[in-house]
Amino acid sequence: GLPIQREPIINLETWKRLQVALDDNSHNRSGNRRDASPILRVVFCGRCDRPLYRRGVDRKMAKGNIVPFLYYRCASASDKAVPNCPDQPYRSGDLERLIFDAFLSKMAGVEIQQKVFVPGDDHSEELEMAQKAYHDLSALATTTRSDTARMRLVTQLNSLDEIIARLEATPNVPSSWAYEGTGRTYGEMWEDMTDADRGALLREAGVKAFVARQTNNTPVLSLSLPDDLERRAQEWATSRV
């Protein structure tokens, strides 16, 4: 017998949109632990290039109360296989603020772009239907006997010819993703973020900070930014707009 015709679960345009979204989401994202130090995998020693890790100790104050003290120190301090780095520890809050401020000096005024889906314009199916209709009417014209019917067919064929010519001259445009401005800057978004989110943004954007102390004990920061900084930052921020 004849094959059973089933209605498609989704139409072709929806299927293409899903494929674009799935492909976009297939890229691996680096994990960001919410309880980790905000500049983990962002800050490195400016003397030996090893990462800096946050440590904590409890200090007893003059009034007898215990206050936790957080600081960053070069990884070489706990690695007996390598010589100790001469650089000294950094107060946690001071170093984090130093790196955050350096990043904002580059990005605070940049407008956040929102990722939006742009539907394509594929008229292949419409063209195919018009061509088939033209073919069927042309075949019918060879068997038509009355002048009235032939004139009507000629009118329909001329109309279809114009439609086919227009569709053939119009290129198909595939579906895609694009960015559009949100009217909000990274500096404005920064005020609403937690330190954990700020660190996550820096990691996703590929920011690396190298810090070392001068002879007068003043920390000097060198910020390494990727060429595609804005694109990478947008990829992270677009899901939060």
Please report the pLDDT score of residue 8 as a whole number. 53
Cβ atoms of 172 and 106 within 8 Å: the answer is no
* N-term to C-term CA, the chain: 55
Please report the pLDDT score of residue 164 as a whole number. 92
Which residues, given as ranges, of the chain have pLDDT below 50? 1-6, 24-35
For the entire predicted model, the pTM comes to 0.62
> Which uninterrupted H or E stretch holds 160?
helix 147-169
pLDDT in tens, 157-208: 899 999 999 989 988 888 898 888 899 999 999 999 999 999 999 999 999 9
Tell me the one-letter amino acid at 46.
Answer: G
Task: Using the structure block, give the residue that is written with the tokens 């929102």.
Answer: 114
Burial class (CB in 10 A: 0-12, 13-18, 19+), 104: middle
Please report the pLDDT score of residue 21 as a whole number. 53
Please report the pLDDT score of residue 29 as a whole number. 46
Please report the pLDDT score of residue 7 as a whole number. 52
pLDDT in tens, 42-58: 999 998 899 999 998 87
